[in-house]
């Protein structure tokens, strides 16, 4: 028994060293492959000279974001294409799945692509996995499922958040599916985010719509070797569980569970655009060539008047900054809004930000921190010269830059950009504080500096010391 125990301990130690070497350290040394992307895609392509067939609706309100998803799913006639990083247990996910099943029941072809590690269809929620796999009108795949013997795959995560209904409507943003993303006022731990809905007003000419590019991207990821069906077949017992779960979801819809359908005239609420361009990271393992970051840095260089950045995490590592010389940024006003320590739910990410916080505050950048305290910001938005806006899944950190799939839309629309700037300025005025060069806050009579629990402050600062050696993973 002692010999077996020693052998077991030895094998465990070897595995931990193997996993650490090929699941963590390899990302420090690995260099991404540079292709011709930057040369083939000029930044000037983001501007349009005429009014586009694509219009947009900005969706910030949490409750409205849930209603918008229900409407898109309930009005789909032919196809529903859905891609998400994570789906948290709760009422929101029950509504989401019940509506998807209703759509499939009426003949809509539904495909759902979820991240292979953080999909949350595990344990007791496997019954949902069985129900979706059993339904003839639904296909489900996981992107890069967990493989304990290939730790280099663990950080290749699907971070996209997309819904495409037919060829007419698409939604992209930063929200996952979970109660905190659609919660009413007063919900402890609510996450404030942003979606943009794109309306193709000329379905007879769908190839000219950005929705076509989004759909082609989904097809590419869906058919990629990294995306797998979670079950090759269902056993009889799993089929029975799947059928029962389908019945439960159908009954949930019949009794009016959750949010109710509301008729929405998207065109009436929409804003015009000159052009919308879809951008994304490459689909590679290990470090990816930073395609989205390329575009953001080139737009920074191009901006003359203003740059507004809203991201839940700000971790501008030296490797990221190698793609841009600060002397190339000549915009007169640069504003960054991120979470404060009081507001952030992500201590690891904030620990990485702490290393750069004073440097940013000592630069020409106006750095603001959202105070919360019961809510946090999860929004990823970039606005340049009150005309070009980016909305999607990309956080300003190394993980979004080099590791995860990320997707954004670049929108040329003065109306949308001005709308976004108003929303960001409202945050700056009513619930955020500007950071001084010494790390303290400027006073704002409209905003109270929120208290940070001692334990949270100590843990985060301790993590900052340790995580500086692993910031390439944050």
Express each pLDDT in 348-369 by its tens digit: 999 999 999 999 999 999 999 9
Tell whether 13 is covered by a domain.
no
Q: Is 110 domain-assigned? A: yes
Q: Are residues 248 and 333 in the same domain?
A: no
Residue-wise pLDDT for 218-247, tens only, equals: 999 999 999 999 998 899 999 999 999 999
Examine the fold and report which residue of 217, 233, 266 is the final residue of a domain before the chain moves on. 266
Given a contact cutoff of 8 angstroms between Cβ atoms, the answer to whether 110 and 100 are in contact is: yes
Indicate whether 375 belongs to any domain.
Answer: yes
Domain-embedded: residue 24? no
Q: Find which of 4-18, 21-35, 252-266 is predicted with most confidence, using mean pLDDT.
A: 21-35
The CATH number for 244's domain is 3.30.870.10
Summarize pLDDT for 193-226 with one digit per residue, the tens. 999 999 999 988 888 999 999 999 999 999 999 9
Q: Do 111 and 258 share a structural domain? A: yes
Question: Residue 16 domain-assigned?
Answer: no
Tokens of 25: 């350290």
Host domain of residue 197: 54-266
70 and 43 in a common domain: no
- Would you say residue 170 has pLDDT above 70? yes
CB 397 within 8 A of CB 155: no
Question: Please, which pLDDT band fits residue 400 given cuts at 50, 70 and 90?
Answer: very high
Taking residues 153-157, report their average pLDDT: 96
pLDDT at residue 259 tops 80: no
- Pair 282, 421 in one domain: yes
Q: What gap in Å lies between CA 291 and CA 299, rounded to an integer?
A: 13
Question: Does one domain contain both 317 and 230?
Answer: no
Last residue of a domain, one of 213, 245, 266: 266
> Do residues 357 and 296 share a domain?
yes
Of the listed ranges 145-149, 261-265, 302-306, the one predicted with least confidence: 261-265
3-class secondary-structure state, position 198 = strand
Structure tokens at 366: 């106006």
Domain count, the chain: 2
In angstroms, rounded to a whole number, what is the distance separating the alpha carbons of residues 168 and 55? 11
- The pairing of beta strand 375-377 with beta strand 190-192: parallel
Shared-domain flag, residues 255 and 326: no
Tell me, yes or no, whether 116 and 180 share the same domain. Answer: yes
The predicted pLDDT at position 276 comes to 98
Q: Is residue 9 scored above 90 in pLDDT? A: no
**Is pLDDT above 90 for 264?**
no
């Amino acid at each position: 028994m002692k010999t077996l125990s020693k052998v077991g301990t030895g094998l465990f130690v070897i595995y931990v060293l193997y996993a650490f070497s090929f699941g963590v350290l390899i990302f420090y040394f690995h260099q991404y492959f540079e292709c011709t992307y930057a040369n083939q895609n000029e930044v000037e392509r983001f501007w349009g000279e005429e009014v586009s067939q694509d219009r947009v609706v900005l969706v910030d309100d949490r409750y409205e974001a849930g209603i918008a998803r229900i409407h898109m799913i309930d009005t789909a006639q032919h196809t529903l294409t859905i891609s998400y990083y994570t789906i948290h247990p709760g009422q929101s996910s029950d509504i989401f799945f019940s509506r998807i099943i209703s759509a499939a029941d009426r003949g809509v072809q539904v495909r759902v692509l979820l991240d292979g590690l953080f999909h949350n269809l595990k344990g007791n929620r496997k019954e949902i996995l069985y129900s979706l796999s059993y339904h003839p009108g639904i296909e489900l795949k996981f992107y890069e499922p967990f493989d304990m013997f290939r730790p280099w795959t663990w950080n290749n995560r699907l971070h996209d958040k997309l819904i495409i209904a037919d060829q007419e409507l698409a939604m992209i943003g930063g929200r996952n599916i979970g109660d905190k993303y659609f919660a009413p006022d007063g919900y402890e731990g609510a996450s404030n985010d942003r979606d943009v809905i794109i309306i193709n007003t000329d379905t007879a000419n769908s190839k000219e719509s950005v929705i076509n590019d989004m759909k082609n991207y989904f097809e590419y990821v869906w058919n990629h070797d990294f995306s797998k069906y979670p079950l090759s077949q269902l056993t009889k017992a799993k089929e029975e569980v799947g059928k029962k779960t389908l019945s439960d979801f159908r009954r949930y819809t019949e009794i009016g569970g959750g949010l109710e359908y509301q008729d929405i005239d998207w065109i009436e609420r929409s804003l015009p655009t000159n052009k919308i361009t879809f951008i994304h990271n490459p689909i590679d393992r290990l470090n990816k060539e930073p395609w989205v970051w390329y575009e953001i840095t080139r737009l920074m260089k191009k901006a003359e008047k203003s740059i507004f950045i809203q991201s839940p995490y700000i971790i501008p590592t030296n490797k990221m900054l190698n793609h841009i010389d600060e002397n190339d940024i000549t915009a007169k006003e640069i504003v960054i809004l991120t979470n404060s320590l009081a507001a952030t739910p992500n201590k690891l990410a904030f620990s990485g930000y702490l290393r750069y916080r004073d440097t940013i505050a000592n630069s020409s950048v106006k750095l603001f921190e959202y105070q919360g305290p019961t809510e946090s910001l999860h929004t990823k938005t970039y606005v340049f010269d009150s005309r070009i806006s980016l909305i999607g899944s990309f956080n300003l950190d190394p993980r979004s830059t080099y590791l995860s799939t990320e997707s954004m839309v670049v929108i040329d629309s003065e109306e949308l950009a001005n709308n976004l700037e108003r929303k960001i300025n409202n945050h700056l005025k009513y619930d955020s504080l500007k950071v001084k060069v010494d790390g303290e806050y400027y006073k704002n009579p409209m905003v109270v500096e929120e208290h940070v629990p001692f334990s949270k402050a100590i843990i985060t600062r301790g993590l900052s010391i340790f995580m500086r050696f692993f910031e390439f993973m944050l």
